Structures are given as C-alpha cells and as structure tokens.
Amino acid sequence: MIATILPDKKKHYPVLLKELISIISPQYGGTFIDCTFGQGGYTKKILEYPKSKIIALDRDKESKKVSLKIKEKFKNRFVFENKKFSQLNEINLKKENIKSIIFDLGCSYTQIKDPQKGLSFESSGDLNMQMGLNDFSAEEVIHKLEQKDLEKIFKFFGDERDSKRIAYKIVNKRKNKKINTEELVKIIESSKIRKNFRIHSATKVFQALRIFVNKEISELIYGLINASKILKPGGIIVVVTFHSLEDKIVKFFFKSLSEKQSSSRYVPYLDKKENLLVLKNKKPITPSENEIKKNPPSRSAKLRFAIKKQNVPNFEEDILKKFNFLLEIENLSEKI
C-alpha cells in the first residue's frame, strides 16, 4: 500500500514560491523588500541566494520574534521593520538597489489560530481582529457603528448578501448583550436566508470586519503607490491576493498604469499618455494542482506582477478616484 502524504495543517506554506523566485531572480543579487514578512517564508528562500539582501516589513509585532532568528544567521543581509507596508516611503532606501517589492496579502496559519487576534469564526471570546498598529478593534466596530454603516462594511468588503439583516440583528442584540465571537457567529447563522455549504456562514462577515479593522483597502492602495515610487525602472512589483476585492484593486492598478488610455472608444489612444508599468502577463498566475494538494488554502491565490517602466508624475490620482467609494467606507472608522 502506498502511503498518502497529508499536508501539515500547523505549518505555514509560502504560496507560489517557485513562481515568485523565477520572476524576481534573486540569484543575480540586489535588495528585495518583503512587505508582508509573516513567518518569513519568502524571505528565507530569497536569502538562500548569497548576493541577495532583504528588507522585511510586518505590522504584526509577533513577526519580530521570527525575524530575530533570521537576523542571527544573515546579519548583514537582513533588516526587519515593524511597520505597515503603506509606510514604505518612510524607510531610508537611498543606498539600496531595490530589485523587487513583494506583497503576500494572505494571513498565516499562526495568525489565524492566534486566540488573541480572533481572526477566525472558530475563535472564542472577545472580538479583536487587529493585525498590529491598529486604532480600534472589531468589538468596537460591532458595538459603536450604526446599522447602515455595518451593512455597508459587510456588503462591500465581504460581498455578503444578507448584510442588511445581519446588521439589523447586531444592533438589536447589542442593546441588551455584549456581542463576542460566538454570539456574532450565532447572529450571522440565524440571519442567513440561503445556506452556502461550501463556506461557513460567517466567512464573509469576518473577512469584511478584518479588512475594515486593519484598513486593508487604503493599506493596499498606498502600498502599491509607494512601491511604484520607490522602485527604479526595471524593478518588479509582485502581489499575491486571496480574495476578489484585493485582486480587483491590484488588477486595475497594474492594467490602468500599463496601457494607453482613451476617453472614448471613438477617440484614438492618447500618444502623450506615459505608462508607469509594463505587464508581461495580463492573466494572474495560480497554484498548480500539486501545490493545492499540499496546501489547500492556496487554492484562492492569484499572483500578479508588473515591471516599472519609468517615473510618471501624479499617477496615483486615477487610482484614488477609482476606489474612492471603498475608501469612504473605510473612513467610517472616524465615527468610532
């Protein structure tokens, strides 16, 4: 009998690692910025190439513990910063030859199972969902925002069909009882009209809350903007997304800044339009069947990358305008 090798559910697997390495080519040297260090999966692999250097960022202070072990081994080739990746522009990079900036937008197994963070609907106790360097928690969102605001968050950040009913029940329940993780799951399950047996009933609401609490929309947008400014021509931006909202932002960012634009299909392309980026692949790279078998959570991953062509002034204006509605929803946090 041939033994079946099952994936280790307690291990964090860096997604699309082989594909990433083939794109950024660390064997030729240079400095790489790992914007979502996490458990150090990408960083460790890149540092196997002796000419490479890593500047790693992570908002989660727990990642500092992982970074200390890597720092012991690669003293002169590894730097860790406890920062959000939207703060890329605050790092002194004048002497660095930045070859690539990498974003892996997924949560690690360690983060998901951390009871202090409460990211999972399988958690217990108080609602939290703070990934680090936060201003408020999920508990504050649930207890302080108005019904219409909660509905917007669930609908547009989680694509939750029953957002109105869920928001209504939350507001009524919180009048008499504090809502913790278990109670929120019960509210969501009792609000669902249509059951989707492929995913848990609470998945979309918990996703929406995590995105809102950690301001993931503005983080991603400003992270991409600052990465594009920092890179020199020829540098590569790589982004791995795990849900449609993230991928929509990345896809638009890369596409809109790599194509000549026309105001109308009846008007010729504007020759004066300067392209910031070049796309080699218009379609995303997705995990192989073998990788999905080894690491099932990778099935939703999409990798997109773009090469910086030239410096372009004020390129961010169209990006911010495109996603202004989502940024306005994120700004509902000012009411907390």
pLDDT digits (tens, 9 = 90+) for 171-203: 999 999 999 999 999 999 999 987 777 889 999
pLDDT at 271: 47
- pLDDT tens, position by position, 86-105: 999 999 998 899 999 999 99
Whole-number Cα distances in Å, 190 to 100, 184, 201: 47, 10, 9
User: In whole angstroms, what is the distance from residue 32 CA to residue 25 CA?
Assistant: 10
Q: Please give the DSSP secondary-structure letter assigned to residue 287.
A: -
Q: In the CATH scheme, what is the code of domain 17-110+216-312?
A: 3.40.50.150
**Count of all residues that appear for the chain in the document:** 336
Q: Report the alpha-carbon distance of residue 177 to residue 127 in Å, rounded.
A: 14
CATH tag, 135-213: 1.10.150.170
Domain ranges in the chain?
A: 17-110+216-312, 135-213
Tens-digit pLDDT profile for residues 226-248: 999 999 999 999 999 999 999 99
CA dist 265 → 173, 188, 222, 268, 271 (Å): 52, 45, 30, 7, 15
pLDDT score recorded for residue 261: 57
Residue closest to 326 by CA, chosen among 223, 255, 248, 256: 248
Average pLDDT for the chain:
91
**Local confidence band at 278 (pLDDT 50, 70, 90 cut-offs):** very high
Which ranges in the chain belong to alpha helices (H)? 17-24, 41-46, 63-73, 109-112, 138-144, 147-158, 163-173, 181-191, 203-213, 216-230, 244-256, 289-294, 316-322, 324-330
The predicted model scores a pTM of 0.91
User: Mind listing the pLDDT tens digit for each residue in 114-126?
Assistant: 766 766 778 888 9
Residue % of the chain over a pLDDT of 70: 88
What whole-number percentage of the chain has pLDDT above 90? 82
Segment 313-318 shows an average pLDDT of 94
11 pLDDT more than 70: no
pLDDT for position 262: 44
Pairing of strands 302-308, 236-241: antiparallel
Cβ-based neighbour number of residue 55 at 10 Å: 22
- Do the domains at 17-110+216-312 and 135-213 have one common CATH topology? no
- Name the CA radius of gyration of the chain, rounded: 21
**For residues 37 and 41, what is the distance between their CA atoms, to the nearest angstrom?**
8
Residue 57, strand partner residues: 81
Task: Select the more confidently predicted residue: 268 or 274.
Answer: 274
